[in-house]
Amino acid sequence: QKEVEQDPGPLSVPEGAIVSLNCTYSNSAFQYFMWYRQYSRKGPELLMYTYSSGNKEDGRFTAQVDKSSKYISLFIRDSQPSDSATYLCAMSPTSGGSYIPTFGRGTSLIVHP
């Protein structure tokens, strides 16, 4: 079992829908949780970043962490065709020497007009 599991999709939704993207993980040492967005044939770019449990909101995007369930989510409100991309979750610990993040496989999102 991989440390970070993410459904690759594709997830296809109509414009304006609320999108929920999720990752589960097995390493309880993970404390920092990141979401990257990757457009086709481009490098990933950091979208949001949260520490430990709780929610963080940035415009139409909300990141949620539930450490008790080892489950993180990214919600996109009022989704737009420009949100069509692959979304990768990533996470890292705060101790143990290595803070290099572990990435999920990415979920492909398609928002159609």
Closest CA to 53 of 75, 76, 30, 35: 30
Write down the least CB distance from residue 54 to other proteins, Å: 16
Only one of the segments 11-19, 46-54, 66-74, 76-84 lies at the binding site for other proteins (rule: CB under 8 A); that segment is 46-54
Q: Which two tokens stand for residue 25?
A: 């993980």
| Residue numbers 52-81 binding other proteins by CB under 8 A | none
In this chain, which of 65, 88, 109, 111 binds other proteins, going by CB under 8 A?
A: 88
Q: Residue 6, interface with other proteins (CB under 8 A)?
A: yes
- CB nearer other proteins, residue 7 or residue 75: 7
Residues that bind other proteins (CB under 8 A): 6, 8, 31-32, 34, 36, 41-46, 49, 51, 88, 92, 94, 98-101, 103-106
